[in-house]
Structure 1
Amino acid sequence: MPPTITSNEAHDFKAHYDRGHSSPLKENEEEDAYVHRITRYSDGTVKLRNSNIELMDQDILYHLALGSESHDLVEMFGDVKFVCMGGTPKRMENFAHFIMEDIGYKLPAGTQLQDISAYSYRYSMYKVGPVLCVSHGMGTPSVSILMHEMIKLMYHAKCKDPVFIRIGTCGGIGVEGGTVIITEDALDGQLRNSHEFTILGQTIHRPAKLDKKLARELKSLSSADDPYDTIIGKTLCTNDFYEGQGRLDGAFCEFSENDKMAYLEKLQEHGVVNIEMESTIFAALTHHAGIKAAVVCVALLNRLNGDQVNAPKEVMHEWQQRPQILVSRYIRKILAQHGQLKSLFGHQGSIKSPRRFKLVQQESQAHE
């Protein structure tokens, strides 16, 4: 039986820090090493920080309509390397089709993409080879439920060092609609780089840390040819879309426009470039699980200019594809580095030359 996490380990790290360190950078490195040690087995597979799971006859992932004994989770998900999440089922279905084409993955003849969690009636999940595309709903409670079950799924499936990426939309602060924003730090409503939990009546803060190396790598994949900007900055995560984000157009508003603008300017001074509703819980739970993670959003408006999203539907659709394109570039790069992209393209079987295949398609279409 694999080793379990004891209840004392939750206190080890604090005691470790009480002995003192030479620099914040060293502290971060040692913290990351500690988290990795207690969240990974020697082969790189995910280890849970909950020994209770190993004692259960079956772990039912209720909101995903999956179970550790009812499904062969290793067979179904053991090859997953990337878990991409977004708010709506339709957006993630679209991303599944997009990434399938972009990495050249081909489904077996006569099959189509299937919503694996359709019978949960809560979240949608599509698998494209090593990429899992999942909807997480709106707001931190919905994301929290999904994250617990996705992390457990990685454990049961024996996935090795998976990468989680949230693909979303947001309101920009001082940036125009259509700008792609990679989160550097996720801040709560009080500008703390943590997420607040109430567990057994006690208030607990967990660091909302994202992988900054991953953020920089994603930024490096933006292109000068892209007709939009891609930036890195701090993200404010709120528990409300209206009053919590300083909007004047909710059912209630007990502050003035001057109050709102002063607040947004304060956020700018702290380096905040966008506002959304999921980043702190996503960052806190992935960091606590030792999972490399990033948040990539597109701004739908500049909040300094207004509160309502007025862009035409077709423009919004194109904007929402922009984070998907960047994330797809990253996935292609990693698969290529590991020699897996070529094997995925090989699944096309009878297609010897994608370029000539495209020419044949165009020629055939010209004679319809």
Structure 2
Amino acid sequence: MKDENINHAFLDGVLDGSHEDVYYHFGVASSDPILRGLRDVQAIVTAGSAGRIVEFADRWSRLNGGSEIVAFPKEDRFVTRYTAGVLFASHGMGMPSASIAFQELMRMLFLLKRGDLDAMDEVFWCRVGTSGGVGLPAGTVVVSSEGLMADLKPYRLLRGGDGEYWFDGHFPTATSDAIIAANAGIDGLSVVSGRTVAGNDFFLEQFRLDGAVCLETAETKNAWLAWLDANGVRNIEMEGAMIAGYLNHWGFPRFAMICCTLLNRLEGDQVTATSEQLDKFSADSGVALFNYLRAHLLGA
């Protein structure tokens, strides 16, 4: 962990009882008894969809002999489940929503591990989702090597008179390699590594031509996608650059993003796959995750 980047001015006071930390959007606080049962957390898995979180927790519970599933009481923003050492939480859609979830989850982990940086280093983080592919057929699972913005620069924030603050968008190579290795040779599952672009929205910053507001032409869209393809970008989603930036800022050594492609953006903007195909695409990113979790948390 990068101890100097942790907000000790606030978080240390939570540990010593000087003040409480309210994880408002999850509906719990640092004094809440529900958190006592989460101190052995080994992994934090996030996804945009609340339904996927419920399904993931049920699946992990079954793999662990029907382990108890703990649900946080508030679910109007994020849905959270904990079972058998894994905290599953939805983060909504887009970087503004996901940034709220990750800020509160990082603070929560600091509390759960009592500020023990070595113990925090052992926790695996993963975002699982869907994406648009770049030069890949629909149904390809991409394990991100780097998260970038639409201009192929890292995630950054305005800081008043100090200009921009830039974050590191790289995902740990060892973790990405381990996920790919855990899925090698499985029939019907194609898992690759590549750079990922995170758009600030679904339409404009992803250069789509089918939005109510459109600023691009076929020529500018195709030129942008060709530029991404030539620079090793393999998929486009809406959260990864920020997530990698936040986790790198604190220095977490084990985190990843696994997203299945719903279409090849070089061939069009709209998702035309059948409902059966979409169900499989959505499931395959979870399959890749669980193959890794079995190998590294269950030892299977």
- Normalising by structure 1, report the TM-score: 0.74
* In 1, Cα distance between equivalents of 2:43 and 2:159: 30
* In 1, Cα distance between equivalents of 2:157 and 2:150: 14
User: Is contact 1:81-1:162 (8 Å) kept?
Assistant: yes
| 1:282-361 map, 5 Å | 282-291=243-252, 292-337=254-299
* In 2, Cα distance between equivalents of 1:190 and 1:85: 26
Question: Could you tell me which residue of structure 2 aligns to residue 51 of structure 1?
Answer: 9
Shift of 1:183: 0.3
* In 2, Cα distance between equivalents of 1:62 and 1:336: 32
Question: Could you tell me which residue of structure 1 aligns to residue 71 of structure 2?
Answer: 115
Q: Does 1:166 align with 2:131?
A: no
Letter in 1 for 2:96: P
Question: Could you tell me which residue of structure 1 aligns to residue 3 of structure 2?
Answer: 38
- Greater Cα offset, 251-260 or 176-185: 251-260
* In 2, Cα distance between equivalents of 1:297 and 1:95: 15
* In 2, Cα distance between equivalents of 1:66 and 1:76: 13
Letter in 2 for 1:196: R
Q: Secondary structure at the match of 2:92?
A: coil
Letter in 1 for 2:284: R
* In 1, Cα distance between equivalents of 2:78 and 2:186: 35
User: Is contact 1:48-1:155 (8 Å) kept?
Assistant: no
From 159, 163, 175, give the equivalent of 1:214: 175
Q: Secondary structure at the match of 1:51?
A: helix
* In 2, Cα distance between equivalents of 1:50 and 1:195: 23
Shift of 1:228: 3.3
| 1:35-184 map, 5 Å | 36=1, 38=3, 48-55=6-13, 56-71=18-33, 73=35, 75-101=36-62, 103-107=63-67, 113-116=69-72, 118-158=73-113, 160=120, 161-184=122-145
User: Is contact 2:70-2:83 (8 Å) kept?
Assistant: no
Letter in 2 for 1:149: E
Q: Secondary structure at the match of 1:207?
A: coil
CA RMSD of aligned residues (A): 1.8
- Greater Cα offset, 145-154 or 64-73: 64-73
Q: Could you tell me the percent identity over the aligned residues?
A: 28
Q: Unaligned stretches of 5+ in structure 1?
A: 1-35, 40-46, 342-368
Shift of 1:120: 4.8
User: Is contact 2:208-2:216 (8 Å) kept?
Assistant: no
User: Is contact 2:26-2:78 (8 Å) kept?
Assistant: yes
* In 2, Cα distance between equivalents of 1:185 and 1:70: 36
User: Is contact 1:182-1:296 (8 Å) kept?
Assistant: yes
Q: Unaligned stretches of 5+ in structure 2?
A: 114-118
* In 2, Cα distance between equivalents of 1:225 and 1:67: 42
Q: Secondary structure at the match of 1:119?
A: coil
- Normalising by structure 2, report the TM-score: 0.90
User: Is contact 2:182-2:295 (8 Å) kept?
Assistant: no
* In 1, Cα distance between equivalents of 2:126 and 2:241: 13
* In 1, Cα distance between equivalents of 2:41 and 2:93: 24
- Greater Cα offset, 48-57 or 204-213: 48-57
* In 1, Cα distance between equivalents of 2:65 and 2:149: 38
Q: Secondary structure at the match of 2:33?
A: coil
User: Is contact 2:148-2:241 (8 Å) kept?
Assistant: yes
From 189, 210, 234, give the equivalent of 2:150: 189
Deviations 1:136-155 (A, max 9, x none): 00000111111011011111
Shift of 1:53: 2.5
User: Is contact 1:49-1:289 (8 Å) kept?
Assistant: no
Letter in 1 for 2:3: I
* In 2, Cα distance between equivalents of 1:204 and 1:166: 23
User: Is contact 1:237-1:279 (8 Å) kept?
Assistant: yes
Q: Secondary structure at the match of 2:103?
A: helix
Deviations 1:148-194 (A, max 9, x none): 110111111115421110001000011111110000111112111x2
Deviations 1:272-326 (A, max 9, x none): 0100000011000111122221000000001111111111222211211111111
Number of equivalent positions = 288
Evaluate the alpha carbon distance shift between residue 107 and residue 229 of structure 1 in structure 2; reply closer, same or farther with a 3 A threshold. closer
Evaluate the alpha carbon distance shift between residue 200 and residue 62 of structure 1 in structure 2; reply closer, same or farther with a 3 A threshold. farther
Evaluate the alpha carbon distance shift between residue 312 and residue 244 of structure 1 in structure 2; reply closer, same or farther with a 3 A threshold. same
Query: Considering only CA atoms, is the larger Rg found in Structure 1 or Structure 2?
Result: 1
Shift of 1:115: 3.0
